[in-house]
Amino acid sequence: MSWSSSNSFLVLLLVTLPILVIFGFLSLYSPPFSIESSSKLLETEGSAAALAAVPSTTTPPLISSNSQHGEASEPPTPHGSTKPNREAPSDQADETHTPIFNHFVGASKRKSSPLKKIEASLARARFSIREASQIRNWTSTYHEDPDYVPHGPVYRNANAFHRSYLEMERLFKIYVYEEGEVPLFHNGPCRSIYSTEGRFIYEMEKGQLFRTRNPDKALVYFLPFSVVMMVHYLYVPNSHKDHYFQRVIVDYIDIISNRYPFWNRSLGADHFMLSCHDWGPRVSSFVPHLFHRSIRVLCNANTSEGFKPSKDASFPEIHIRTDKITGLIGGLHPSRRSVLAFFAGRLHGHIRYLLLQQWKNKDQDVQVYEELPHKVSYDSMLKKSKFCLCPSGYEVASPRVVEAIYAECVPVLISDSYIPPFSDVLNWKSFTVQVEVKDIPNIKTILMAISQRQYLRLYMRVKQVQRHFIVNATPKRFDVFHMTLHSIWLRRLNVQIQDQ
Ligand SMILES: *[C@@H]1O[C@H](CO)[C@@H](O)[C@H](O)[C@H]1NC(C)=O
Ligand SMILES: *[C@@H]1O[C@H](CO)[C@@H](O)[C@H](O)[C@H]1NC(C)=O
Ligand SMILES: *[C@@H]1O[C@H](CO)[C@@H](O)[C@H](O)[C@H]1NC(C)=O
């Protein structure tokens, strides 16, 4: 698609805008909520600290678009509305408005608006999860689950996670905005390094799971644009110009905030976007509320780029080359893994530079390649190594993490400011090794110091968490699709939204 046709897409969207009247403002506050019961388990990870249970008396600031990481986050956006809509309910409402609209106009008179009902059910869910989290036990107390019972130290709190998961299955409903056109919207890559972006959009669009067509019943609202597709269709290579992205995203949010009451009601806090592309954070920054308030589900979960673990969610990058991933799952028995540590990859970014400089072609135990020898297969190296090095590249996330988990090779995360996927639920320290960038020269010493017993424990746990990273053609409970949904669900629990 050329720029001119996407231009006409914008014009079309703009012209067809029905302007709904302003009907009121909503206050919003967000008592931090967590599936953790105390901060003790959390001290290790920034992500979890942010999700830690704090008495709900804390009253975070009302609607504001304060930036949490001053730098790099606020490009000039002439359109971005940062002003909360505080006008009084208008009396322009009449019979020409949709039932949705009337619902909200009548909300103050009625006892229980749809939103109030939703919030009441969320309050019960919070209570129930909090209760479950008090039982400090590494095994879920719900043993009747036919598919899987979360257990063991791979979870921050297995019991709370299980309860939260079951509550999600009971209550979670997502509205997918229909505005926007293919290929930039409702569409995305289902293969390649960005497959998780396309697959999630595809599953939501199919509408079999958790989707509602009634926006009044939704707990969250999905903005189904694909950053990968925007880059593909709108970016002029090497131009370093992204004003087309800006127009698309600003116009899109304008449209949905004019056409529906939901965006203004929460200023985006119950809306989510999802992107696996490096530029996901950048694209979201064109609308300040999208950046600062909405749930952003990102592979590029870089806290130095404004990723905020209490409201944003990290999801995995999974390199899918063909439709079958089955061949990638599994590897040699631990006793037959002959390589201590393995990495192969290009020189992308400064962490890789340090790694390659230090270890490339230097050591039989720590095998680091910029390019694999001709007859050596990448997959078989993963399957016969004990540890797989997963350094950040040009951005923090690496598809190697999931490749390693699939191959039952213990991931060694080497990154800065990275929040790994599902950190709110998974205790990454229990099944990976985390090496600081400054310790790259000590990798061998660090890995050699891990006893066989400890290694076997890590190995077993990697096998256990595999299910949370598996991509299924038809999603299955507890797989990567459901874990991504669960992250969104958990962040929705973090906010309370009111009509008035
Ligand atoms: C939402 O707010 C914007 C800007 O404040 C306004 O232009 C728009 O009409 C509002 N939308 C609705 C549905 O009231
Ligand atoms: C944890 O819960 C399981 C199942 O209810 C129980 O068998 C086990 O004894 C509990 N462990 C602790 C330490 O309470
Ligand atoms: C994370 O973001 C910071 C700030 O933009 C940047 O300097 C750094 O390179 C990023 N990390 C990676 C691995 O890209």
CATH for 451: 3.40.50.2000
Tell which wins on pLDDT, 44 or 158. Answer: 158
> Residue 98 falls within a domain, yes or no?
no
Nearest-angstrom CA–CA distance, 111 and 101: 17
The reply to whether 276 falls in a domain is yes
How many distinct structural domains can be found in the chain? 2
- pLDDT surpassing 50 at residue 8: no
Distance from Cα 158 to the centre of ligand 2, integer Å: 11
Dist. CA 464 → ligand 2 center (Å)? 19
Q: Do residues 311 and 186 both lie within one domain?
A: yes
Model confidence band, residue 111 (pLDDT cutoffs 50, 70, 90): low
| Whether the Cβ atoms of residue 372 and residue 378 lie closer than 8 Å to each other | yes
**From 396, 415, 436, 440, mutation site for ligand 3 pocket: most ligand atoms within 8 A of C-beta:** 396
Per the CB < 8 A criterion, the answer to whether 255 and 46 are in contact is no
Average pLDDT, the chain: 81
Percent with pLDDT over 70 in the chain: 77
> Does ligand 1 lie within 6 Å of residue 20's CB atom?
yes
User: Are 332 and 313 in a shared domain?
Assistant: no
Residue 295 sits in the same domain as residue 374: no
266 Cβ closer than 6 Å to some ligand 1 atom: no
Q: Are residue 272 and residue 372 in the same domain, yes or no? A: no
Query: Do 176 and 314 lie in a common domain?
Result: yes
Mutate to test the pocket of ligand 3, among 67, 417, 419 (most ligand atoms within 8 A of CB): 417
What tokens were used for 44? 């290790």
Q: In which residue are the tokens 């490339």 written?
A: 360
Q: Is 30 in the pocket of ligand 3 (CB under 6 A)?
A: no
Domain assignment present for residue 132? The answer is no
Residue 156: band (very low, low, confident or very high) from pLDDT cuts 50, 70, 90: very high
Report the separation in Å between the CA atom of 231 and the middle of ligand 3, taken as the mean of its atom positions: 20
* Cβ(403) – ligand 3 distance below 6 Å: no
137 touches ligand 2 (CB under 6 Å): yes
Residue 191: which pLDDT band, with cuts at 50, 70 and 90?
Answer: confident
Question: By three-state DSSP, how is residue 424 classified?
Answer: coil
Which residues have CB under 8 Å from 495's CB, separation 6+? 28, 29, 30, 266, 269, 270, 311
Q: How far is CA 178 from CA 161, 204, 276, in A?
A: 32, 11, 21
CA dist., res. 256 & res. 16, Å (int): 12
The verdict on 315 and 178 lying in the same domain is: yes
Is residue 94 assigned to a domain?
Answer: no
Mean pLDDT over 450-466 rounds to 98
The three-state secondary structure class of 261 is coil
Same domain, 290 and 364: no
With a 6 Å cutoff on the Cβ, whether 141 touches ligand 2 is yes
| pLDDT, tens digit, 9 for 90 and up, residues 221-237 | 999 999 999 999 998 88
Range of the domain at 269: 3-30+172-320+480-497
Question: pLDDT category, 253, cuts 50, 70, 90?
Answer: very high
pLDDT at 30: 33
Can you tell me whether residue 210 is helix, strand or coil? Answer: coil
- The answer to whether the CB of 392 is under 6 A from ligand 3 is yes
Among 135, 137, 159, 162, say which to mutate for ligand 2: greatest number of ligand atoms within 8 Å of CB.
137
Amino acid at 464: Q
Instruction: Tell whether 366 and 419 lie within a shared domain.
Output: yes
In a domain, 404, yes or no: yes
Check residue 500 and give its pLDDT: 52
pLDDT of residue 226: 95
Q: Sort residue 240 into left (φ over 0), alpha (ψ -120 to 50) or beta.
A: left
- Here the tokens at position 168 are 């999600």
CA of 139 to the centre of ligand 2 (A): 6
C-alpha 320/C-alpha 310 separation (Å) is 29
Closest CA to 358 of 288, 259, 443: 443
**411: amino acid identity, one letter:** P
The pLDDT value given to residue 302: 97
The verdict on 259 and 379 lying in the same domain is no
Q: How far is the CA of 37 from the centre of ligand 2 (A)?
A: 17
Calculate mean pLDDT across residues 335-351: 96
Question: Is the CB of residue 304 below 6 angstroms from any atom belonging to ligand 3?
Answer: yes
d(CA 397, CA 378): 19
Q: Which atom of ligand 3 is nearest to the CA of 395?
A: 14
> Is residue 373 domain-shared with residue 339, that is, in the same domain?
yes
As separate numbers, helices (DSSP H) first and strands (DSSP E) second, the chain gives 17, 13
Q: Is residue 45 part of a domain?
A: no
- Please report the pLDDT score of residue 36 as a whole number: 42
The per-residue pLDDT for 88 is 34
- Does residue 413 belong to any structural domain of this protein? yes
Confidence at 412, pLDDT banded by 50, 70, 90: very high
Secondary structure of residue 269 in the 3-state scheme: coil
How many Cβ atoms sit within 10 Å of the Cβ of residue 158?
23
Instruction: Indicate if 209 and 182 belong to the same structural domain.
Output: yes
How far, in whole angstroms, is CA 339 from its chain's centroid? 33
364 and 281 share one domain: no
Q: Angle 228-246-190 (CA atoms, 0-180°, nearest 5)?
A: 10
For the chain, the 3-state helix, strand and coil shares in percent, each to the nearest 5, are: 40, 10, 50
Can you give the pLDDT at residue 14? Answer: 35
* Any domain includes 199: yes
**Half-sphere exposure of residue 462, counting CA atoms within 13 Å on the CB side?**
29
Amino acid identity, position 208: Q
Q: What percent of the chain has pLDDT over 90?
A: 68
Q: Is the pLDDT of residue 195 over 50?
A: yes
